[in-house]
């Protein structure tokens, strides 16, 4: 008999490739999470179609419809709670969340970032890595805190930077690593194998 699954909401702004990785993971019978709601701040986000094709409820909450970040985040919070969401994944969600929202979902909110944090924070992480001339970059799944791209690190995967890489080729390589990393991060959390204490995330072997 399948056990209880963690009800997960996913926030997106774009094509939703990480969302698709999570959708695919959730189709596995023994995967301990399920996606119960997808929210996009953009009506043209390709990830909305991915959700609908998987028969997952999807809605648009446009930041342009609200006079403040607080009001926008409150609308997202209301929608998540109405859907019974217990945990939230940011998957290419291109809005900074307010401290109030982040604190309401403290230790129940994760993000994936295309670098080995704390290196190369921000939206141009891949370009930063190329400009710095590093030989290795990667991706990080971390718990979200009010300050951008901070919070306890859960998983990281290293990705080599190859000679002749462009931002497109490197980002494609990182994205493939992200898909595996995010699936595994949510699985560990939903299986009760992750604990956060004193701003450090630990993974249990039990």
Active site residues: 113
**44-50 own/partner pairs: CB under 8 Å, 24+ apart:** 45/12, 45/13, 45/14, 45/15, 45/16, 46/14, 46/15, 46/16, 47/10, 47/12, 47/14, 47/15, 47/16, 47/19, 47/20, 47/91, 47/92, 48/12, 48/16, 50/16, 50/19, 50/20, 50/23
Count of other CB atoms within 10 angstroms of residue 110: 26
Q: Tell me if the bond preceding 118 is cis, omega within 30° of 0.
A: yes
Q: Token match 């080995």: residue? A: 116
């Amino acid at each position: 008999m399948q056990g209880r699954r963690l009800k997960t909401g996913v926030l997106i702004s774009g094509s939703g490739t990480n969302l698709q990785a999570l959708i695919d993971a959730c189709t596995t019978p023994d995967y301990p999470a399920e996606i119960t709601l997808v929210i996009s701040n953009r009506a043209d986000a390709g990830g909305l179609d991915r959700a609908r094709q998987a028969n997952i409820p999807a809605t648009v909450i446009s930041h342009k419809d609200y006079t403040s970040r607080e009001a926008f985040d409150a609308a997202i919070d209301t929608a998540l709670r109405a859907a019974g969401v217990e945990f939230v994944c940011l998957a290419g969600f291109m809005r900074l969340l307010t401290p109030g929202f982040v604190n309401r979902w403290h230790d129940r909110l994760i993000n994936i970032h295309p670098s080995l944090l704390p290196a190369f924070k921000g939206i141009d992480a891949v370009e930063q890595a190329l400009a710095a001339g590093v030989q290795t970059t990667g991706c990080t799944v971390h718990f979200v805190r009010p300050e951008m791209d901070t919070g306890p690190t859960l998983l990281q995967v290293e990705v080599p930077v190859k000679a002749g890489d462009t931002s497109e080729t490197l980002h494609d390589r990182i994205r493939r690593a992200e898909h595996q990393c995010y699936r595994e991060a949510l699985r560990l959390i939903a299986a009760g194998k992750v604990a956060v204490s004193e701003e450090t995330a630990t993974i249990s072997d039990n």
